[in-house]
């Protein structure tokens, strides 16, 4: 088993390093990290429009008039309906720092490219504007691609020296502004040509083309049970060899999962049926109770059932972080990494949590997840209640019991060995 583990680690390490080191995937991940506080706060405002208490809406209407919901809807719309703009800022900044070029120019030109490709709508009163849907989750993939292209154009022009160089006496901030003039021209030209080309196609614009041919199929695939199982299996297997599997998987899957969450949140706001079983909250607050692979059950087993001093101490150390979905003390303290005994339940628990959650929601036993963005560290049961009501909290309890059942036999084996070793040494 040791030789097999070493061979697997040697085979997986180069692949994982290439994925985690990819500048575009890293930039996308940084973009979502940067937008996370805005999405969380926007979700909290949306939550207050539909608190699960009888008579809540009537009470608020009596206290603050029939338009009381506007107070909560506006912050939500600013966060979710414009989410791509916040994500794009982080992506452009990350790529610019990677290339060591002007971050302000990268962000500005990325926004220029996006707005050129966004179709303008005209009302009956001749009022022009941008459709919010193109800047929300449905426009996410286009905005990511447009940002990468804009920054690459800027980088290429700067590397080729296609800039206006000012005398040394000119202040640095003014010199930087003029240095970006020629790259800005090529960004305008390139994106305007792209806009013109798509206007001649049946799609009408790049947004519709990207959404129908790429983003929609990816979302449909990413929301299926088989795809979810594969992703969860890959994530946990990579973790077993000491590689941060969650970081690698999230850099690829987060754009898809966040789009699915945003669609559910929009349906929740409108009071219509939510369509996506799998989304970001599905993964973060149901599959990962206690952290990746639902290790809260393992932490409880360590705390309550350990005979050895070694695992009693680990249980006391790991239980509090695990309640807040942080499980590095367990992964590296037990350890699970490169531990043939614990690899089996670690992978099995991740797949089991995803499968049970999917079947519970798809069958109607648990309501659809409403798409509200909670902090990742929101404790179990609380997060389930907010996202799905009392049945969501009950589902998390069931998942916790399943997690304990999967981990306990393997943990008991290690605990017995550790206990016998301690007794023989004493």
DSSP assignment of 350-392? HHHHHHHHHHHHHTTSSPPP------TTPPTTHHHHHHH-HHH
Coil, strand or helix at 129: strand
Side-chain-facing half-sphere of 326: CA atoms under 13 Å: 9
Say if residues 91 and 27 touch (Cβ distance below 8 Å): yes
Q: Which residue has the tokens 């040494």?
A: 425
* Residue 354, both tokens: 């995803």
* Residue 98, both tokens: 């990677």
pLDDT single digits (tens) 378-398: 899 999 998 998 999 999 999
* Residue 90, both tokens: 């982080």
* Residue 370, both tokens: 């409403």
Cα–Cα nearest to 289, from 382, 415, 388:
382
Q: What is the dihedral of CA 20, 23, 27, 30, to 10 degrees?
A: 40
What gap in Å lies between CA 108 and CA 120, rounded to an integer?
A: 19
What local confidence, expressed as pLDDT, does residue 314 receive? 87
What local confidence, expressed as pLDDT, does residue 7 receive? 61
CA dist 66 to 55, 70, 118, 270, Å? 14, 9, 34, 16
| Between 416 and 216, residue with greater pLDDT | 416
Coil, strand or helix at 202: coil
Cα–Cα nearest to 243, from 255, 234, 231:
234
Say if residues 19 and 248 touch (Cβ distance below 8 Å): yes
What gap in Å lies between CA 151 and CA 309, rounded to an integer?
A: 55
What gap in Å lies between CA 143 and CA 110, rounded to an integer?
A: 8
Secondary-structure breakdown of the chain: helix, strand, coil percentages, each rounded to the nearest 5: 75, 0, 25
Tell me the backbone φ, ψ of residue 129, rounded to 5 degrees: -170, 175
Cα–Cα nearest to 376, from 387, 366, 365:
387
What gap in Å lies between CA 251 and CA 28, rounded to an integer?
A: 7
Is the pLDDT confidence value at 352 over 60? yes
Mention every residue, 6+ apart, whose C-beta is less than 8 A from residue 379.
Answer: 323, 324, 325
Q: Which residue has the tokens 């695990």?
A: 322
Instruction: Give, as one character, the DSSP assignment of residue 325.
Output: T
Cα–Cα nearest to 233, from 360, 339, 348:
348
pLDDT single digits (tens) 100-145: 998 999 999 999 999 999 888 887 788 888 888 788 877 888 888 9
* Residue 408, both tokens: 């306990």
pTM recorded for the entire structure: 0.72
| Between 54 and 266, residue with greater pLDDT | 266
What local confidence, expressed as pLDDT, does residue 348 receive? 93
Cα angle 106, 112, 114; round to 5 = 105
What local confidence, expressed as pLDDT, does residue 4 receive? 53
User: Which stretch of 54-68, 255-269, 270-284, 347-361 has the lowest confidence by average pLDDT?
Assistant: 54-68
What gap in Å lies between CA 35 and CA 50, rounded to an integer?
A: 24
């Amino acid at each position: 088993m040791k030789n097999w583990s070493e061979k697997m680690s040697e085979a997986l390490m180069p692949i994982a390093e290439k994925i985690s080191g990819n500048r575009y995937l890293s930039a996308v991940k940084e973009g979502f990290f940067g937008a996370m506080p805005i999405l969380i706060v926007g979700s909290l405002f949306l939550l207050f429009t539909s608190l699960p208490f009888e008579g809540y809406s009537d009470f608020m209407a009596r206290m603050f008039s029939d338009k009381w919901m506007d107070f909560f809807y506006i912050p939500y719309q600013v966060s979710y309906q414009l989410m791509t703009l916040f994500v794009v800022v982080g992506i452009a900044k990350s790529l610019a720092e990677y290339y060591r070029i002007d971050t302000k120019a990268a962000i500005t030109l990325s926004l220029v490219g996006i707005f050129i490709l966004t179709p303008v709508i005209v009302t009956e009163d001749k009022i022009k504007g941008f459709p919010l849907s193109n800047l929300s989750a449905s426009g996410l993939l286009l905005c990511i691609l447009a940002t990468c292209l804009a920054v690459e154009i800027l980088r290429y022009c700067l590397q080729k020296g296609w800039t206006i160089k000012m005398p040394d006496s000119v202040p640095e901030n003014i010199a930087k502004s003029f240095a970006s003039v020629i790259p800005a021209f090529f960004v305008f030209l390139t994106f305007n040509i792209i806009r013109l080309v798509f206007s001649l196609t049946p799609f009408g614009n790049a947004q519709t083309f990207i959404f129908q041919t790429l983003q929609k199929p990816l979302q449909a695939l990413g929301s299926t049970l088989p795809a979810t199982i594969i992703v969860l299996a890959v994530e946990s297997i990579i973790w077993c060899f000491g590689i941060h599997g969650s970081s690698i998987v999230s850099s690829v899957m987060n754009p898809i999962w966040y789009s699915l969450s945003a669609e559910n949140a929009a349906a929740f706001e409108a009071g219509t049926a939510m369509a996506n079983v799998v989304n970001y909250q599905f993964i973060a607050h149901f599959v990962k109770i206690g952290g990746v692979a639902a290790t809260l059950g393992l932490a409880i087993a360590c705390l309550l059932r350990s005979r050895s001093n070694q695992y009693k101490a680990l249980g006391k150390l790991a239980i509090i972080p695990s309640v807040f979905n942080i499980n590095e003390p367990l992964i590296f303290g037990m350890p699970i990494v490169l531990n043939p005994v614990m690899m089996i339940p670690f992978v099995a628990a991740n797949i089991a949590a995803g499968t049970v959650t999917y079947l519970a929601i798809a069958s109607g036993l648990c309501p659809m997840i409403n798409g509200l963005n909670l902090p990742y560290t929101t404790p179990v049961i609380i997060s389930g209640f907010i996202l799905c009501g009392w049945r969501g909290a009950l589902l998390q309890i069931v998942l916790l019991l399943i997690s304990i059942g999967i981990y306990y036999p393997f943990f008991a084996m290690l605990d017995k060995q550790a206990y016998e070793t301690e007794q023989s040494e004493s």
